[in-house]
């Protein structure tokens, strides 16, 4: 059982539904939420298993097609396996902070096999027609199946907009 609370209203207008919702889950199982996302076609597929726990407190307001979000989501002990993944992917902790203008992650590490990548991202103007994604990964050349090893710390970042992409790399 996944304890999720949804309160508020949905105005089902003829053109686009308007949301005014609060969604909360305290230490809920990600497995059931992922199965729901797979069943509705939002994320994953039916052969993917996602484990871990999530705490979320989100307010969604605006058109259902592009609502403005405010709140926080944090996930712990995230373990994704099966589906199209060759190897399981694990992350200790991932946190998102949402405002009507931006969704921003913490710096987190995802591990699969012998590869570990530290990443962070932000999504700006996500409810607008033109959005911007900023992302950073480190190292650029992680150990891949024990065959390649990075000899220096590299940071890779890019900015993606609805109009194009810019990529930057730096060594430390």
- Decide if pLDDT at 167 tops 80: no
Give the containing element (helix H, strand E) for 32.
helix 30-39
Report, as an integer, the average pLDDT of 86-114: 93
The arithmetic mean of pLDDT across residues 138-159, rounded, is 46
CA distance 43 to 48: 10
pLDDT for residue 146 is more than 50:
no
Whether the pLDDT of residue 134 is over 60: the answer is yes
Q: Which of 49-58, 83-92, 95-104 has the lowest mean pLDDT?
A: 83-92
Of 102, 167, 157, nearest in space to 135 by CA:
157
Tallying the residues shown for the chain, one arrives at 172
In whole angstroms, how far apart are CA 140 and each of 2, 111, 161, 164? 37, 14, 21, 21
Query: What does the alpha-carbon distance between residue 166 and residue 53 come to, in Å, rounded to a whole number?
Result: 35
């Amino acid at each position: 059982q996944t304890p999720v609370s949804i309160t508020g209203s949905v105005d089902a207008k003829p053109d686009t539904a308007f949301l005014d919702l609060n969604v909360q889950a305290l230490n809920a199982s990600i497995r059931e939420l992922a199965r729901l996302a797979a069943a509705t076609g939002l994320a994953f597929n039916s052969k993917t298993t996602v484990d871990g726990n999530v705490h979320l407190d989100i307010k969604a307001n605006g058109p259902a097609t592009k609502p403005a979000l405010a709140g926080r989501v944090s996930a712990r002990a995230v373990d994704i396996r099966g589906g199209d993944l060759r190897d399981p992917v694990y992350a200790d902790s991932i946190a998102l902070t949402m405002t009507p203008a931006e969704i921003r992650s913490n710096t987190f590490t995802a591990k699969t096999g012998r590869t570990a990548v530290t990443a962070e991202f932000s999504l700006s103007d996500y409810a607008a027609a033109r959005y911007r994604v900023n992302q950073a990964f480190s190292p650029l050349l992680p150990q891949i199946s024990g065959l390649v090893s990075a000899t220096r710390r590299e940071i890779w970042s890019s900015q993606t907009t609805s109009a194009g992409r810019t990529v930057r790399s730096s060594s430390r």
